[in-house]
Amino acid sequence: MQWNNKVLAFATLGAAATLVLAGCSGGASSGSASGGSDGYKIAFVQGVAGDEFYISMQCGIQDEAEKEGATVTTQGPEKFDPTLQKPIVDAVVASQPDALLIAPTDVSAMQAPIAAAEAAGIKVVLVDTTLEDPSAAVSQISSDNEGGGAAAFKAIQDANPNGGKVLVVSVDPGISTTDARAKGFEDAVAEDSKFESVGVQYSHNEPSTAAEIVTAALQKDPDIVGIFAANLFAAEGSATGVQQAGKQGAVTIVGFDAGPAQVKALQAGTVQALVAQEPATIGSDGVKQAIAALKGEATEEKIQTGFTILTKDNIDGEGKDAVYKSSC
Ligand code: T6T
């Protein structure tokens, strides 16, 4: 597991396409960004539109692009779904940008559309998620997702020294990030005989489905002590599910990401810890790698960014900066 300094400092918990204007608030609209007229054209394809993780990434991309005099257009599918993301990529390829920054929604289904971008001479950077075969990309940038999953288990472990049953609420199989988080969590659980995993369930990125999963799981196994929600929407829904089951405070919830609604749940005590990623850094690093490739300079094959564990103790202080944005 890779820990950055912030993680060490904060790991205190007893543990239909939307085209978004660069520089605007992230709502559904259409158009393209402004930037240096002679600069590179960068297309950013999000995993899903309206997700504060990708909005924060967009902010990082735009800030870095502005420094370089490059223009950015941002688009994302309405759902985290390769059948909706593929046509967006196809249209982006047809529009011939210089570079494509993309978070593929599936490790295999997005392979061919992204290979087509590379074949068209577009420099591809994979941001956040990756592919089974990432060779079409000049660089892959993501959090330490496995490490984040293990850190989530540590938070549950610290809050429940006697052990017990734990549940993972993920998104869909085939997403590199959430699969790695679930693996990191499950591997760590397997190393502590006091804990037993009741398995990984998939919410399809729908908070309401995550809430249903959690209420049903708590009915079946009322002795569940901890829930790891592997992304923002799974975490929002898991918090609702625990509340609906009347188990607030009795079950430790640790969620990946740090959207504003997740932070409210942390402050309210429904959720005990959040694993905040650094989406703006992923985005700015993505722009740097794309531009290096366009200039014929060396690129880094893989860049791993850090995460911060947010708790009630640091969220109103040092942790504030790690909260995701709803608009740039
Ligand atoms: O957790 C992030 C991202 O890292 C993951 O790949 C998909 O879900 C999010 O966008 C949060 O909703």
What is the pLDDT confidence band of residue 270, given thresholds at 50, 70 and 90? very high
Within-domain flag for 149: yes
Whole-model pTM: value is 0.90
CB of 142 sitting under 6 A from ligand 1: no
Does 249 or 200 have the greater pLDDT score?
A: 200
Q: Across the chain, where does the E strand assignment appear?
A: 18-20, 41-45, 71-76, 99-102, 123-127, 137-143, 164-170, 195-202, 224-229, 252-256, 273-276, 302-305, 308-310
Residue 4 has pLDDT above 60, yes or no: no
Looking at the structure, tell me whether residues 155 and 237 fall in a common domain: yes
| Measured torsion, CA atoms of residues 294, 298, 304, 307, in degrees rounded to the nearest 10 | -60
Tell me: do 260 and 160 sit in the same domain: yes
In this structure, the answer to whether residues 41 and 117 fall within a common structural domain is yes
Q: Tens digit of pLDDT for each residue in 26-65?
A: 332 233 344 443 599 999 999 999 999 999 999 999 999 9
Regarding whether 204 and 158 lie in a shared domain, the answer is yes
Closest ligand 1 atom, CA of 233?
12
Average pLDDT across the chain, whole number:
90
Question: Is the distance from the beta carbon of residue 128 to the nearest atom of ligand 1 less than 6 Å?
Answer: yes
Q: Are residues 236 and 295 in the same domain?
A: no
Q: What is the CATH number of the domain that holds 112?
A: 3.40.50.2300
Quick one: pLDDT band at residue 147, thresholds 50, 70, 90? Answer: very high
SS3 at position 2: coil
Nearest CA to ligand 1 atom 6: 177
Report the pLDDT value the prediction gives residue 11, as an integer from 0 to 100: 38
In the block, which residue shows the tokens 């978070």? 103
Phi and psi angles of residue 73, each rounded to the nearest 5 degrees, phi first: -115, 140
The band of 249, judged by pLDDT with boundaries at 50, 70 and 90, is confident
Judge if 239 and 153 occupy the same domain.
Answer: yes
Which residue is closest in CA terms to ligand 1's atom 9? 231
83 token code pair: 């059948």
Give yes or no: residues 149 and 199 share one domain. Answer: yes
Please give the average per-residue pLDDT across 77-102, as a whole number.
Answer: 98
For residue 214, being part of any structural domain is answered with: yes
Is a pLDDT exceeding 80 seen at residue 99? Answer: yes
Ligand 1 atom nearest residue 51's Cα? 12
The boundaries of the domain holding residue 52 are 29-142+279-304
Q: What is the pLDDT of residue 38?
A: 55
**Percent of the chain whose pLDDT exceeds 70:** 88
The tally of domains found in the chain comes to 2
* Average pLDDT of the segment spanning 132-158: 98
- Residue with the smallest CA separation from ligand 1 atom 10 is 53
